[in-house]
Structure 1
Amino acid sequence: MKSIQQPRSLVAIIALLTVVVACGTSLSLRKKLECHRGCYCSLFKRERVVMRCSLFNLTGKPLPTPPKQSKNLNTSIYLENGTIPALLHNTLSEYSHYRIVILSLKNNTIRNIYKHAFSRMRYLQTLDLSENFIAEDILKESFYGIAMTPIKELNISSMNLTNVSDDFFEHLENITNVRLTFRNNTSEFPRDALQGLRHLTDLDFGGNRLKAINLGNASFPSLQTLSFDNNHFYEFPNLCSSSIFPNLKHLSIQWNGMRYLDRNYYSCLKNLTNFYLNGNLFPELKSNQFSMLPYIYKITLSYVGCAMHTIERAVFNNSALKQIFFRKNRIWFREAEIDMRVFEGCPSLELLNLNDNVFQVTTEIEFNTLFGDLTNLKTLVMGGNGLQSIPQVITRKLTSIKSLALYRNSISDLKPNTFENMTKLKKLFLANNEISTIDKQSLPKDLKQFEMFGNPLSCTCDMMWFVDWMRKDPETFGFHKTPQNKVLYNCSSPVIVKGVQLLDLKMSEISCLMDQDVKIITLTFSTLLTVFLVTGAVMYRYRWHIRYLIYMVRYSQRQEVDTADYEYDAFVAYSAPDRHWVIRNMLPVLEGKENFKLCVHDRDFEVGKLIVDNIVDAIEASRKIIIVLSNSFAQSDWCRFELNLIQRHVLENGQRLLVVVMLEEIDTRHMTKAMRAMLQTTTYLMWGEEEYARKAFFNRLRMLLRSPTRNAGKRRLSV
C-alpha cells in the first residue's frame, strides 16, 4: 500500500505547486494599489495602472485622485454609473498631472461640459462619454478641448443625438487616426457632419435605425473600419455610388435582417479584407458573390440560414480568401438547391467553420465534392453537424489541418490509423460524441490539445493507456485551464465504475494482464470451435467431391496396360432432361447409320448395381467418352460427380478419350471450375438446329469416334 500511496502524494504535491505558481503568476501580473476611498486600483505587469470607481456622487466634490504611480505609468480611469453634474474648466485639472490615457465617464448624468474641460489632458487617447444626456450644442463645444488632446477613440453613444448639425464635428476636423462610436438610435446618417472628419479611420454607426443611407458625393479617404450593425437595412446599402471608401478594410453590416445582397453595391471596395454579414435573412447566395474583392481575407455569414433556400456553385470563389465562418445556419447540405461546390475556387482557404449545419445524410461522394479542393485548410470546425463518422475526405486529403473540431456529433468509432495521413494535426476536439473506446493507433502523434469529455467512455483495461496519458499530461486535456472540467470525463461502463472520473479510476497493470489471460483462453476455445464448425460445413458442402476421392482410391489400383476389348465405342454422359435429345438425335445416327455401339445409362446400366459402379464400369468398358453438356447438366449434382470421375479417368488415360458436345451456352452462374477447365483444354462440338449444322456436327463426331483400326480394342494408358 505504501508504494501505491507515494505516487498519489507526489501528484498532490505537484498540484499544490501548480496552484502556488499560478497564484504567484497572477499576483505578478496584477497588484493592488492604495486608492481613493470607494475606488479600486491595481497595477498590471508593472506598466499600467487601472482605477475603477462607481456608484458615487461627486456633486460639488473633486474627482477621485489616481494612485501616485499614475504620474509615471499609463493610467486608465473608469468613473462610471455615478453622479457628475458637470465638467467645469477646472474639474479635470488635477488629472493633468498624471499619464491618463483612458478616461471613461459613462452614465454619470453629465449635462454640462465646459469648452476647455479636457484641454489639459496631454496623454488622453480614449474618451467615453456615452449614456450621458448632453445637449448637442454643449457637446459640440466640448470637442474644442478634446481636439487639444492626442485623442484616438471617442464614444458618444446613447446620448439622444438623433439629428446632429452639419458643423457638429467642426472642432475635430484636424484630428487624425481617430475611432468614433456613434450609436444613438438615429434614423438618418449625418453624412455632411461626418464628412468633415476626413482623417477618421474607424466609424461604428451600429445600433441606430437606418433603413438606407444617401452618401451623395461624400468621401472618407482614411476610413478603414466601418460598422452598420443592428440597423434596419432591408437590402445591402450602396457603397459604390462613387469612390467613397477607397481604403476600407473592415466592413460589418450584421443583424440587419437584410433580404438582398447585391454584389455591385460593394464591388468597389478593392481593399476590403474583413466582411461581416452575420444575422441577416438572405434567401439565396449566388455564384461569385465575393470574387471581385482582390484582398478579402475573412467572410462571416453565420445565423443567416433560417430563410436561405438556394446556394449556388462557387459562392466564395476567391483565391485570396483565408477564413470563412458559415456557422449556425441549420442548412441541410443535400437539398436540391444547395450546390455542394459552394467552396469551389478557394485554394488558399485556411479556416472553415461550419458549426450547426446539417450533414446527417451527406454521402462520402458529396463530402468529397464539398471539401476535396480545400487542401490548404488548417482549421476545420464541424460541431453539431449530425455526423455519424468522420468524412474520409478530411482524413485522406485535408492533410494540412492543424486543428480539427468535431464536437457535438454522433461519432461512435475511431478506426485504427484514422489520422495517419494528418501528420500536422495538433488539436483535436471530439467532445460530446458517442465514443466509448479509443484505440491508441487511431490518434495522431504529438497532439497538443485533445478534448474527449461528454463521451460514454468504457473504462476497461483497453483504456488504461488513455488514463495514464491524462495523468501524465493533463494540460493536453485542458485541466490546467479549468480543473473542474475533469468531472466530464466520467465512466459510462461497466456498471461497477459508472460515474467514476477517469482520473480517479483504479486500474493496475497486473489485473489487466490477468484479464488478458482470460481473453486469450476464451479466444483459443472460440477459434477451435469455429474451425470445427467450418470444417464440418465444408465437408458437407463438398461431400460429392469427397465421395469422388473415395471411389478414385477404390479404382486407383488399375493395370497400366489394358488388354481387354472394348465393349462400347463410347460412353454417353448426359442429364435426365437431355435424354430425349440423345435418343432422338444421337442414337439414330451413331448406332443406326454408323454402327457405333454406345453406352447409355437408361438402357445399358446393370439393374441392381450401384450407380457409381455402373458409371465406373461403363467408362472402363468404353473407348471414348461423350459428355452432353447443358445447363441442366451443369446444375445436376450427379452429373457433376460423374464429370469428376470422367476427368480423373481422362487424366490417367489421355485427353484424346474425351468428346464434349455443347447443346447450349452455359450460364456462368452454373459453370464450375472443373467445367471451365475442361472447356479451356478440350475442343467441343456445338449443336445447331439447322440442317447444315447437323451434318457438320455428325461428320466431326464420326471422325472423333473412329479408331485407326475400327475394331482395335487394345490401348495403353497415357499418364
Structure 2
Amino acid sequence: MDLFIYRIIAIVYITLILSLNGENQPSKCVCYKPNSEHDKERPADNKCEIINHIIGELKFQDFDEHCVKGLETVIFVNTSIHKIEEGFFSNFTKMISLNMSQNQNIGPGIKDALYRINKKLEILKLDNITMNDEILLEIHTLALFPPSLHTLSLRENKLTTFPMQWIQQLTNLTSLDLSQSIHFRHIEVHDVNKSLPLTNLSVAFTGFFLKTLFKNESGDCVLPSLAYFNLERTFVNVSTIDVPDNCFQNLTHLIIKHSIFEDGLYRNSFRYLKNLKWLSLSETFNIYQLPVMNMSLKGLEMNNLQFNFYPSSQNLHIFGNLSSLEHLEIQSLNPGNWSDSSMSDLLSPLQNLKYLDASNNNLSFMPTVISTMSKLETLILSNNSIGVWHSIISGSQHTHLRTILLQNNEIEFVDVRYLPQNVTKLDLSGNPFLCTCDLVPFLIWVKENHLYTATLIKEWGTHYFCALPWNMRNLSLVKFNPKPTDCQPFNKYVITAMVLCCFMVLIVFVTNVVVCYKERTKKHNLKIRYKMKV
C-alpha cells in the first residue's frame, strides 16, 4: 500500500515538473513549426517568445524562413538549448532584441548563435549560459558582438574579468550588466585608448572590489558618462571616489546596498559626487560616521545600517543640506529613544519630501514634523508602537497624501475626520483595535466607501481584529456590529431633567434631615428643662 502511494506521489510530482517546464505547452511564436498547429489562428507579429519549453537544438528547419524575417524581438529563455546551427540567426534580418538567457548548456555554442547575426541588433541578453573568460575572448576575437548594441547583459555567468577594451568597437553601448557572477572580480581599463559611452554599469552580487578609478594608462577617465553604478553586495574603497578627479562627475545613481566599506564611511564621504541624485546605503558595514551630503539628492536609502544611530549633534544635522530630497528610507535605524524635538531637528529640512519610510524603528509617537510636510504622497510607519496620529495627519495639511501604511502599531481607534480625502491606499492591519462605540464611525466610513473589496484597505476580513474588550478579543472587525441603541447618545434635555430631579431629591432629603435634627434637638431640650424643674 505504501509503495502504491509513493508511486502516485512520484507520478504527480513528475507531471507538475513537466507542466512547469512547459514541455507540453504551446510557445508564443507563430514562426516555430512544432507549434504551428497551436498558433495557426493567431496572426503573426514581430515577436517570437519561447519560455520554459524544451527545444534542445536550434535548427533552420524548425522555423518558417519567411516568417522569421519579420521578427524584431526573439526570446529563448530556459529552453534547454545545447546546440545552435551555425548562422542560425542570419535570416532574422529585422531582429533588434535577442534574449538567450537561462540556457546553461549552450556554452561555446553561443558563438554559433552570434555568427552572421543582424548588424542592427540593439539588445542582447546572455544571462546564465555558463559563459566564461575563454568564451568571451573568442567572441571578441571573432568580433561577433554587433556594433549597433546599446544593451548587453551577461548576468549570472562564470566570468572573472571583463576587459573594457573588448567593447571599444561598440560605440553605441550604453548599458552593461555583469551582476550575479559570484566569481567576477575585476574590470580592466588600462588598455582602453578612448572613452566609452557606457552610462549604466552593474556589478551587483559579485566579488568585485572598487579600489581604483576607471582610468587608462594615460590617466584619462574611461567611463566619463557613467550615470548609474550598481555596487550592491560588493566591496568598496570609499576613498577611491573621495577625490576631486574621481571620474564620476556625471554619476546620478549610486547603489551600494549591503556592501562592505573596506576603509570605512566618514562624515565627508561622497562630497565630490556633485551631481548625485540617488544614493542607497542600506545594510552597509563599517560605518564610522554618517556622511553629511552636500548635494542636490532626490532619493536616499539608509535602511538597517550597521551603525549606532543616537541623537548626537552630528547625527541630528545629517539632512541639513538636503532640502531637495523627495524620497527617504530610514527603516530599522531605531531612533525609538529619540524625543519629538530631536526627530524634528533631523527631519525639518526635508520640506520637499514626497516619500517617507520610517518603519521598524520602535517609535512610540508620530513625529510632529510630519505635519509640516505638505508635499508628502507616501507615508510608511509600519511596525512601530504609534498610538496617536490623527492630529498630525489631516486632510487640510496633506492634500497630496495617497498612501498611508501604519500596520502593526498600537492604534486603538480611527477618527475618520482627520483622514486625508485623497488617500487611495490605507493599511492599518495588525493594530489592537478597541471595539467600542468610538470605533463605529470608522466602520461606517469603511462600509460607505465600499472598501471591503477595494484596494484602499486590504485584507479587511483577515487582518483587522479587536484587542479589547476581552470578550471580543481576536474578533474580526467584519463581525463587530454593535446595535444602534448600544452607541446612541443621551438627549441633552433628558440629561438636564435627570440632573434637576436628582438635585431636587437631594434638597428634599437635606431639608428632611435638617427638620428632623431640629425636632430631636427641641425634644431633647424639653426633657432637660423638665428634669431641672422636678
Contact 2:228/2:254 (CA < 8 Å) preserved in 1? yes
Determine the C-alpha separation between the residues in 2 that align with 1:462 and 1:398: 29
Supply the distance in 2 between the matched residues of 1:414 and 1:199 (Cα, whole angstroms): 53
Q: 1:75 to 1:176 in 2, by over 3 A?
A: closer
Which string of whole-angstrom CA distances, capped at 9 and with x for unpartnered residues, describes residues 609-633 of structure 1?
xxxxxxxxxxxxxxxxxxxxxxxxx
Which residue matches 2:199? 224
Give the aligned partner of residue 400 of structure 1: 375
Does the 8 Å contact 1:80/1:104 carry over to 2?
no
Q: CA deviation at 1:415?
A: 5.1
Over residues 350-395 of structure 1, what are the superposed CA-to-partner deviations in whole Å (9 max), with x where a residue is unaligned?
1101112211112233222311211111111111111000112222
> Structure 2 length as normaliser, TM-score?
0.77
Q: Relative to structure 1, is the Cα distance of residues 156 and 284 closer, same or farther in structure 2, using a 3 angstrom cutoff? A: closer
After TM superposition, the score normalised by the length of structure 1 is 0.58
**1:188 corresponding residue in structure 2:** 161
Partner of 1:248: 226
The one of 495, 501, 511 equivalent to 2:470 is: 495
Aligned positions of 1:47-58 closer than 5 A: 50=28
Runs of 4+ in structure 1 over 6 Å off:
none
Question: Is 1:205 the counterpart of 2:175 in the alignment?
Answer: no
- TM superposition shift of 1:165: 1.7
Q: Give the equivalent residue in structure 2 for 1:68.
A: 40
| Inter-partner Cα distance in structure 1 for 2:495 and 2:132 | 81
Distance 2:196 2:466 in 1: 61
Equivalent residues of 2:411, 2:432 under 8 A apart: yes
What is the SS of the residue equivalent to 1:467? Answer: helix
Aligned to 2:269: 289
Q: Secondary structure at the match of 2:404?
A: strand
- Distance in 2 (CA, whole Å) between partners of 1:474 and 1:332 is 45
The within-5 A match list for 1:277-356 is 277-282=256-261, 284-305=264-285, 307-312=286-291, 314=292, 316-319=293-296, 321-329=297-305, 331-334=307-310, 339-356=315-332
Identify if the C-alpha distance between structure 1 residues 197 and 516 changes in structure 2 by more than 3 Å, giving closer, same or farther: farther
Q: Is the 8 A contact 2:119 2:146 kept in 1?
A: no
Aligned counterpart, 2:525: none
Q: Which of the residues 82, 85, 88 maps onto 2:59?
A: 88
How large is the RMSD of aligned CA atoms in angstroms? 3.5
The CA distance in 2 between the partners of 1:423 and 1:348, in whole Å, is: 20
Q: CA deviation at 1:453?
A: 0.9
Matching of residue 432 in structure 1 with residue 432 in structure 2: no
Distance 1:352 1:162, change over 3 A: same
Contact 1:486 1:501 in 2 (8 A): yes
> 2:234 is matched by which residue type in structure 1?
N
Distance 2:431 2:230 in 1: 38
If asked which structure has higher relative contact order (CA below 8 Å, sep 6+), I would say 2
Distance in 2 between the 1:455 and 1:389 partners?
Answer: 14
CA contact (8 A) 1:108 1:132 kept: no
5+ residue gaps in structure 1?
A: 1-35, 42-49, 53-60, 529-719
Taking a change above 3 Å as real, the CA distance of residues 423 and 284 of structure 1, as seen in their structure-2 partners, is farther
- Residues 242, 269 of structure 2: 8 Å contact kept: no
Q: Secondary structure at the match of 2:144?
A: helix
Counterpart Cα distance in 2 of 1:102 and 1:271: 32
Deviations 1:631-689 (A, max 9, x none): xxxxxxxxxxxxxxxxxxxxxxxxxxxxxxxxxxxxxxxxxxxxxxxxxxxxxxxxxxx
Q: Offset at 1:230?
A: 1.4
Equivalent position amino acid for 1:345 in 2: N
**Matched AA of 2:226:** L
Give, as a single letter, the amino acid of the residue that structure 2 aligns with 1:512.
Answer: C
Match of 1:263 in 2: 241
Distance, in Å, in 2 between the alignment partners of 1:94 and 1:116 is 13
Contact 1:456/1:491, CA 8 A, preserved across alignment = yes
- 1-structure distance, mates of 2:491, 2:44: 70
For 1:274 and 1:413, locate their aligned partners in 2 and report how far apart those are by CA, in whole Å.
37
Amino acid across the alignment from 2:338: T
The within-5 A match list for 1:372-521 is: 372-395=348-371, 397-414=372-389, 416=391, 419=394, 421-475=397-451, 479-480=454-455, 484-514=459-489
Does the aligned pair in 1 maintain the 2:184–2:206 contact within 8 Å? yes
Cα deviation, residue 196, structure 1: 2.9
**Structure 1 residue 132 displacement after superposition:** 3.2
Whole-angstrom distance in 1 between the partners of 2:405 and 2:101 = 43
Cα distance in 1 for partners of 2:398, 2:178 equals: 44
Q: What letter is aligned with 2:49?
A: I
Could you tell me whether the CA contact under 8 Å between 2:311 and 2:342 is conserved in 1?
A: no
1:161 corresponds in structure 2 to: 132
SS of the equivalent of 2:116 reads: helix
SS in 2 for 1:39: coil
Partners of 2:242 and 2:316 in 1: how far apart? Answer: 25
Residue 369 of structure 1: aligned partner: 345
Give the partner amino acid of 1:436: E
- Is 1:145 the counterpart of 2:116? The answer is yes
Equivalent-residue separation in structure 1 for 2:239 and 2:499 (angstroms): 68
In structure 2, C-alpha distance between the alignment counterparts of 1:184 and 1:337, rounded to whole Å: 47
The alignment covers a number of residue pairs equal to 466
1:146 counterpart SS class: coil
Q: In structure 2, give the amino acid aligned to 1:357.
A: L
Contact 1:185–1:207 (Cα < 8 Å) also in 2: no
Task: Give the match for residue 31 of structure 1.
Answer: none
Please list the CA deviations of residues 534-572 of structure 1 after superposition, one character each: whole Å capped at 9, or x if unmatched: xxxxxxxxxxxxxxxxxxxxxxxxxxxxxxxxxxxxxxx
- Cα pair 1:317 1:343 within 8 Å, conserved: no
1:6-45 paired onto structure 2 within 5 Å: 38-40=24-26
State the secondary structure of the residue aligned to 1:414: coil
The residue that corresponds to 2:189 in the other structure is 215
What residue identity is the alignment partner of 1:245?
Answer: L
Task: Indicate how the Cα distance of structure 1 residues 484 and 380 shifts in structure 2: closer, same or farther if over 3 A, else same.
Answer: closer
Residues in 2 aligned to 1:503 and 1:236: alpha-carbon distance in whole angstroms: 58
CA distance in 2, matches of 1:262, 1:520: 78
In structure 2, how many angstroms separate the alpha carbons of the residues matched to 1:343 and 1:504?
46
Distance between the aligned counterparts of 1:356 and 1:516, measured in 2? 50
SS in 1 for 2:196: coil
Q: Deviations over 1:204-246 (max 9, x none)?
A: 1112323333311424533221101112134445235522123
- Cα displacement (A) at 1:184: 1.8
